[in-house]
């Protein structure tokens, strides 16, 4: 009989968050203003806006977030009770370099993460760190135009080198940019990436700006990986890709081809991270569209050297496309061709729930790259209600259980190498997409509402007890 493989003994069971979505303390310890600090709440279909941060009456939810900055010790004790063996968070660039272009770092900011990581390690929890999770110093935006400017590469690399040196004995697993490929999907210039707040009338204007900014980020990432490996050869530095597979709506050859091209447009980023060069399908696309990027020989050498050690990715949902034969070849028109998949359910926010898709993408990554995988985000955003003093979030348990089952099958049956699993927002925090508190992912409830009212007290949801036994049994008891 075929022997079943189990999850590895040192499998990292964790939870994932990002600095600006939970820390608060937006001006504490000499922290500078981050792009995330000047973004408004966007809800009910209204996009979050990047402002100058002084609009009267606007709610800037990241200013206080869930006040992890002041409460991290008690929170980490609770994470330890949950049984976490790793904790994925990010370093706020503005705590280390408040404006982003300084030569010397801010010692108070460095000390904060020293204390935070020490607290984790004391509880046997390994920090897993993202360098840039949807934010950058606001000053780099106003002075330099964010990632549209090549100079920002040097500022980022200086930041990366500073924290790599400081935490070289405390952190092993790193990621450079959160969901670096997500910027390919936004119709407007999504603030967390190029950080310019620009609005574009058409793809023709947006795309060259986005690709140029993405190129600078990829070079910055590669240079950081190279330096990180020099500082500590044991560092494991990964890519972080937003993985939403795009299925063809039918077996019609045009739908299948359309889905393949749509996948290429989303996933060329990880090809560059892993292979160290641009895939020919994307350079052919640039040529066809007449995009000429500022890409030097030195950039190409950096990309070739700074390749990643593993693939970190988020997985929440899958998409489906239907070709409309719109005369644009196989270039995908999201507004017209993205369809609702009738075979899967969706969350209140329209995110299509597809556990088997997780196994599918694990195989896709494994076939393509043969690198270890790390599921660094997965979760279910919902409005939770307290009934008799506790949130019985059975819907969240069902979502996570179904995904963990598929994850185990990818390991057991398909032979995929998997480092760990860190469900997103396992403690309630500010939504990145909407700035709301009511879109909750947590196993730990935080008492705070959309308007910012509440005690900020923490309490356990039913999913806390459930995940605790999952971890204790290394995924055997679901
Ligand atoms: C990912 C981001 C996270 C996060 C999560 C859930 O794209 O990396 O920062 O918040 O999605 O998204 P949202 O908060 O919009 O529900």
Catalytic-residue membership of 417: no
Domain with 332 in it: 12-473
Residue 349 CA: nearest ligand 1 atom is: 16
Ligand 1 within 6 A of 432 CB?
yes
Q: Is residue 1 part of a domain?
A: no
Asked whether 179 lines ligand 1 (CB < 6 A), one says yes
Closest Cα partner for 189 from 157, 163, 213?
Answer: 213
Regarding pTM above 0.90, the answer is yes
Is the residue at 350 inside a domain?
Answer: yes
The protein residue whose alpha carbon is closest to atom 11 in ligand 1 is 432
Which residue among 35, 176, 433, 436 has the greatest number of ligand 1 atoms within 8 angstroms of its CB, and so is best to mutate? 433
- Which two tokens mark 42? 């966007």
Total count of domains within the chain: 1
Give the distance (Å) from ligand 1 centre to CA of residue 210: 20
Q: Distance from the CA of 414 to the center of ligand 1, in angstroms?
A: 28
Q: What is the pLDDT of residue 139?
A: 92
CATH number, domain containing residue 144: 3.20.20.80
Helix or strand holding residue 12 (H, E): strand 12-16
Q: At what angle do helices 151-166 and 107-122 cross, to 10 degrees?
A: 50
Look at residue 2 and tell me if it is in a domain: no
Residue 178 tokens, joined:
């959160």
The finding on whether 19 has its CB within 6 A of some atom of ligand 1 is no
Q: Cα–Cα distance between 73 and 70 in angstroms, integer?
A: 8
Q: What pLDDT score was predicted for residue 142?
A: 87
pLDDT tens digits, one per residue of 364-399: 999 999 999 999 999 999 999 999 989 999 999 999
Residue 7 maps to a domain: no
What distance in Å separates the CA atoms of residue 471 and residue 14, rounded to the nearest whole number? Answer: 9
Helix, strand, coil percentages for the chain (3-state, nearest 5): 40, 15, 45
> At 49, is the pLDDT very low, low, confident or very high (cuts 50, 70, 90)?
confident
ipTM score assigned to the predicted complex: 0.98
Which has the minimum average pLDDT: 37-51, 329-343, 351-365?
37-51
Tell me the pLDDT band of 3, cut-offs 50, 70 and 90. Answer: low
Query: Mean pLDDT, the chain, as a whole number?
Result: 92
465 inside domain: yes
On whether residue 5 sits in a domain, the answer given is no
Q: Three-state DSSP class for 465?
A: helix
Whether residue 4 lies inside any domain: the answer is: no
Pocket lining: 424 vs ligand 1, CB cutoff 6 Å: yes
**Residue 185, pLDDT score:** 57
**Predicted pLDDT at 1:** 45
Q: Say what the pLDDT of residue 395 is.
A: 96
**Domain contains 461:** yes
- Whether the pLDDT of residue 288 is over 90: the answer is yes
Is the distance from the beta carbon of residue 377 to the nearest atom of ligand 1 less than 6 Å? yes
Beta-bridged to residue 130, according to DSSP, are 90, 175
Q: What is the residue whose two structure tokens read 């480092």?
A: 419
> Which listed residue (23, 217, 337, 377) is catalytic?
377
pLDDT attached to residue 190: 53
pLDDT of 91 strictly over 60: yes
Q: What does the alpha-carbon distance between residue 110 and residue 291 come to, in Å, rounded to a whole number?
A: 40
């Amino acid at each position: 009989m075929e022997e079943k493989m189990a999850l590895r003994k040192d499998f990292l069971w964790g939870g994932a968050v990002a600095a600006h979505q939970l820390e608060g303390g937006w001006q504490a310890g000499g922290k500078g203003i981050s792009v995330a600090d000047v973004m408004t709440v966007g809800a009910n279909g209204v996009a979050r806006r990047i402002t100058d941060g002084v609009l009267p009456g606007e709610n800037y939810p990241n200013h206080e977030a869930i006040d992890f900055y002041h409460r991290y010790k008690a929170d980490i004790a609770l994470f330890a009770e949950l049984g976490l063996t790793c904790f994925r968070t990010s370093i706020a660039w503005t705590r280390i370099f408040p404006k982003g272009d300084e030569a010397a770092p801010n010692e108070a900011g460095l000390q904060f993460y020293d204390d935070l990581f020490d607290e984790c390690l004391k509880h046997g929890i390994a920090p897993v760190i993202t360098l840039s999770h949807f934010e950058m110093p606001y000053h780099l935006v106003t002075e330099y135009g964010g990632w549209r400017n090549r100079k920002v590469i040097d500022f980022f690399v200086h930041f990366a080198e500073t924290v790599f040196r400081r935490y070289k004995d405390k952190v092993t697993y790193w990621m450079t940019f959160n969901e670096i490929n997500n910027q390919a999907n936004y119709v407007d210039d999504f603030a967390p990436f190029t950080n310019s707040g620009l609005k574009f009338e058409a793809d023709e204007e947006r795309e060259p700006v986005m690709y140029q900014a993405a190129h600078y980020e990829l070079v910055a990432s590669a240079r950081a990986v190279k330096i990180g490996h020099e500082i500590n050869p044991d560092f494991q530095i990964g890519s972080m890709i937003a993985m939403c597979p795009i299925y063809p709506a039918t077996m019609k050859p045009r739908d299948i081809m359309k889905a393949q091209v749509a996948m290429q447009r989303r996933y060329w980023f990880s090809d560059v991270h892993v292979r160290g060069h641009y895939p020919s399908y994307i350079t052919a696309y640039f040529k066809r569209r007449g995009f000429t990027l500022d890409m030097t020989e030195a950039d190409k050498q950096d990309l070739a050297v700074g390749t990643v050690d593993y693939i970190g990715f988020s997985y929440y949902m899958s998409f489906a496309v239907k070709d409309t034969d719109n005369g644009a070849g196989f270039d995908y028109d999201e507004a017209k061709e993205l369809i609702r998949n009738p075979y899967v359910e969706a969350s209140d926010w329209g995110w299509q729930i597809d556990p088997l898709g997780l196994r599918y993408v694990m195989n896709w990554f494994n076939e393509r790259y043969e690198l270890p995988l790390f599921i660094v985000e997965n979760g279910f955003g919902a409005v939770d209600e307290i009934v008799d003093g506790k949130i019985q979030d059975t819907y969240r348990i069902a979502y996570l259980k179904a995904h963990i089952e598929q994850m185990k099958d990818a390991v057991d049956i398909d032979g995929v190498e998997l480092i760990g699993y860190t469900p997103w927002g396992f403690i309630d925090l500010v939504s990145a997409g909407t700035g709301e508190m009511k879109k909750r992912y947590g196993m730990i409830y935080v008492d705070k509402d959309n308007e910012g009212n509440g005690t900020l007290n923490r309490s356990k949801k039913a999913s806390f007890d459930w995940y605790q036994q999952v971890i204790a049994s290394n995924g055997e008891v679901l």
